[in-house]
Amino acid sequence: MSVIKELLSELALKIKYYNLSDYPHLKDGMKFNIRGTTYIFIDIFNSEKVTQNILLHEIGHVSFGHRHLDCRSSGWDRRQEREADRYMIEHRADEWLAQFDWEPDVIDYDKFIEHFELEKRHYGLVVEVFDEIIGQPQLHSHCL
């Protein structure tokens, strides 16, 4: 997915794949800054889509200017997590809508979540993002 590659290079982010059995202390999405380059750690056995989701989430953190290295550390800021998740879902929603010639009337959220291998807990955020993208124009055209 070239959009992700572009975003990574814009933000000076690099991917570092690891094997969990060799590095049990690493977690997906962990970031380390080494001489001005930030490396995002990704489990080598993740599917391509899950890897992309993690990258989009981490790109979201960096582009929002969030400061943290580990999403799952204790005391972690829920608002920042939500913003990064939202960033990721917005990108996935754009991808999803690109397959239609015109905006669909109904979004199959379950199918969307399944297609991109998202977590079920993202359901509420997914609905919110699609509402924002296609809910508003529908409302406007109704007024005409």
Q: In what order do the strands lie in the sheet with 31-34?
A: 13-18, 37-43, 31-34
Retrieve residue 36's tokens. 């001005």
Using the contact rule CB under 5 A, the part of the chain among 4-12, 81-89, 106-114, 131-139 near Zn ion is 81-89
CB nearer to Zn ion: give 121 or 142.
121
Q: How far is the CB of 62 from Zn ion (least distance, A)?
A: 10
Closest residue by beta carbon to Zn ion: 71
Q: How many CB atoms lie within 10 A of CB 36?
A: 6
Alpha-carbon distance of 13 to 61, in angstroms, equals: 12
Q: How far is the CB of 80 from Zn ion (least distance, A)?
A: 7
CB nearer to Zn ion: give 42 or 71.
71
Q: How far is the CB of 97 from Zn ion (least distance, A)?
A: 25
Q: Does residue 7 touch Zn ion according to CB under 5 A? A: no
Q: How far is the CB of 101 from Zn ion (least distance, A)?
A: 35
Q: Does residue 84 touch Zn ion according to CB under 5 A? A: yes
Q: Does residue 13 touch Zn ion according to CB under 5 A? A: no
Q: Total residues at the site for Zn ion (CB under 5 A)?
A: 3
Amino acid 45 reads F
CB neighbours of 18 closer than 8 A, spacing ≥ 6? 26, 41, 42, 43, 44
Helix (H, G, I), strand (E, B) or coil at 5: helix
